[in-house]
Amino acid sequence: MKQTKVAIIGGGVTGVSMLSHLVHDERFTSGITVDIYDNAYTMGRGQAYQEDNEHLLINVPADEMSLGESHPDYKSWLKPENGQELYTSRQQFGDYVKDQLETIASTHEEVHLRYAKVDGIEYDSSSGKFTLSIDEEEVLYDRVFLTIGQLRYGDPYNLKGSQGFLYDPYPLSRKLADIEDDNIGILGAGLSAIDCVRYLILDKQVKKVSLFSRSGDMPSVRGERAEIILRHFTEESLRDRIQNDEIALTDIIALFKEELAHQNIDESLFFRRTGNTLQDLNYDLEHQETVGRLQYLIIKVNPIFSDVYQYLSRNDKKAFLEKYHHLIEENHSPMPAEVARLLVQWGDEGRLHIIDGTEHIKKEDGFTILTKEGGEYRVDTLINATGPVKDVRRGDSEIIQSLMNHMIIAPSEFGGIMVDASRHVISPKVGTVRGMYALGALTIGSDYLSNSVQLLQKNAQKLINRFYEDIY
């Protein structure tokens, strides 16, 4: 085999998983050299697991987090005093991933940690080589893995740059540390909004925090763990239904309903929400067994569904996203029960307010939030927790702009970029780019709800397998 020079762009969980599967594969030889790029702050941690406040928790129990078989699992890596905790801080998980990355680098002379951002990429389709621009330097590679994580944050009300508006709040312990305000607004009601609430109330002792969102919906509360053995919604039965490279949404729904019935899960659980968020959290806390069965079923079928997601026709994909996605999403990344209990308590004490129906925000002498029902709320400080954009045309990082400009990547209408079934990048100029692979937030249009550590890690393994098939 000829020498192969590989670049992994992004040292978060996906990049590290990719590297790990690459070097631990029996086909790995000293002919393959790997440079992994990220800045020093996020190398080995990515966005989610950077050094930050201890109250920012992983939403998955520690014993369900792992980087794969070549590493000690997270639970056994943790020091005994922390190993007892069901949910650890995300920073601690970052310590674990970084430690695994540094171990790989110190035991493989072919692997180099490059503490720099890649600013641009060009591709020569005749030689199949990529030129990466890093600061003033240009470096040639044979294969490139794009694992750059999420795109920039959204700004639905065009508030970026306004006084008192925190556009990107992470790391909270740095960006929110100097806030001296006892009435703070947060835009959004998802996991990032919950991070902000916990930090502000637990650490900064803020008296009143209000969450403003369009729907007010929060993730559900993680119920009891359930062992699910699938009978109907299996890989084989779904594959059997693929014809002419397509699977019908009606077939998928029918199989899923059969599975629900087999698992004794009442379909009405999907429609348990009342619109009163704190009441809904209480419901989940009081029904941990039934809610847990539904959540663990969803977690179990997620990778199987994600594998056939790309076989849905365009119309079926749209129909799925419109009709069913929110029902799955609400139950997919639940928050720990201990987090929910505190939210309910703060709600009862009048310290936390959840206001839905946000329609418009006026900027004048602070922020006035107007809701559909005619409500008007005023805050001086507003924190953005609306999450990242999905459309690469709105991503403003230099690397995205460079890839778009050289027509190496193209947007997918379902978010992220166009990739083939093996996650090779599809260029509008030269077609499938066999030397470039993408995974993570860039492939959300193809990998359904696959941004959890477990799924990223599994998908990285598949992708590395494809890489070895490509080079040998």
Ligand X SMILES: Cc1cc2nc3c(=O)[nH]c(=O)nc-3n(C[C@H](O)[C@H](O)[C@H](O)COP(=O)(O)OP(=O)(O)OC[C@H]3O[C@@H](n4cnc5c(N)ncnc54)[C@H](O)[C@@H]3O)c2cc1C
CB 7 within 8 A of CB 144: yes
| Dist. CA 447–CA 449, nearest whole Å | 6
Place of tokens 């919906």: 217
- Contacts (Cβ under 8 Å, ≥6 apart) of 126: none
Residue 408 Cα distances to 6, 35, 125, 175, angstroms = 17, 21, 10, 35
Binding window for ligand X (CB under 6 A); candidates: 3-11, 245-253, 362-370, 429-437: 3-11
CA distance 134 to 121: 9
Is 144 a binding residue for ligand X by CB under 6 A? The answer is: no
Q: Measured from the CB of residue 41, what is the shortest distance to ligand X in angstroms?
A: 8
Q: How far is the CB of 362 from ligand X (least distance, A)?
A: 28
Q: Is 113 in the site for ligand X (CB under 6 A)?
A: no
Work out which of 9, 228, 255, 389 binds ligand X, going by CB under 6 A: 9
For ligand X, the closer CB: 13 or 269: 13
Binding window for ligand X (CB under 6 A); candidates: 145-153, 215-223, 362-370, 426-434: 145-153
Q: Which is nearer to ligand X, 59 or 234 (CB)?
A: 59
186 is an interface residue for ligand X by CB under 6 A: no
Cα distances (angstroms) measured from residue 350 to each of 71, 192, 213, 346: 45, 21, 18, 6
Does 10 bind ligand X (CB under 6 A)? Our answer is yes
Which residue in 7, 19, 32, 60 binds ligand X (CB under 6 A)? 60
Among 452, 457, 459, 461, binds ligand X (CB under 6 A): 452
Examine residue 37 and tell whether it contacts ligand X (CB under 6 A): yes
Dump strand ranges (E) for 135-212: 137-141, 143-146, 165-166, 183-187, 208-212
Rank residues 217 and 259 by Cβ distance to ligand X and give the closer one. Answer: 217
Measure the CA–CA gap between 406 and 139, rounded to whole angstroms.
17
Region binding ligand X by CB under 6 A among candidate stretches 224-232, 240-248, 311-319, 446-454:
446-454
For helices 249-262 and 314-323, what crossing angle results, to 10°? 40
Task: Tell me the sheet residues that pair with 112.
Answer: 35
Select the span of 34-42, 230-238, 244-252, 280-288 touching ligand X (CB under 6 A): 34-42
- Please pick, from the candidates 6, 14, 169, 331, the single residue that binds ligand X as defined by CB under 6 A: 14
- Count of residues that interact with ligand X, criterion CB under 6 A: 34
What whole-number distance in Å separates Cα of residue 215 and Cα of residue 194?
15
- Minimum Å gap between C-beta 118 and ligand X is 4
Residue 447 interacting with ligand X (CB under 6 A): no
Find out whether 221 and 291 touch, Cβ atoms under 8 Å: yes
Binder of ligand X out of 6, 22, 58, 354 (CB under 6 A): 58
Interacting residue with ligand X among 15, 190, 303, 411 (CB under 6 A): 15
- Using rule CB under 6 A, residue 105 touches ligand X: no
Residue 306 binds ligand X, judged by CB under 6 A: no
31 SS3 class: coil
Angle at the Cα of 291 from the Cα atoms of 353 and 453, rounded to 5 degrees: 85
Site membership for ligand X, residue 451 (CB under 6 A): yes
166 three-state secondary structure: strand
Q: Which of 440, 444, 448, 450 binds ligand X (CB under 6 A)?
A: 440
Length of the chain: 472
Residue 79 φ then ψ, to 5°:
-65, 150
Beta-bridge partner residues of 431 = 427
For residues 217-246, which are near ligand X according to CB under 6 A? none
Element (H, E) at 138: strand 137-141
Is 150 an interacting residue with respect to ligand X (CB under 6 A)?
yes
State the residues that interact with ligand X by CB under 6 A.
9-15, 37-39, 42, 46-48, 58-60, 90, 117-118, 147-150, 191-192, 397, 399, 440-441, 451-453, 456
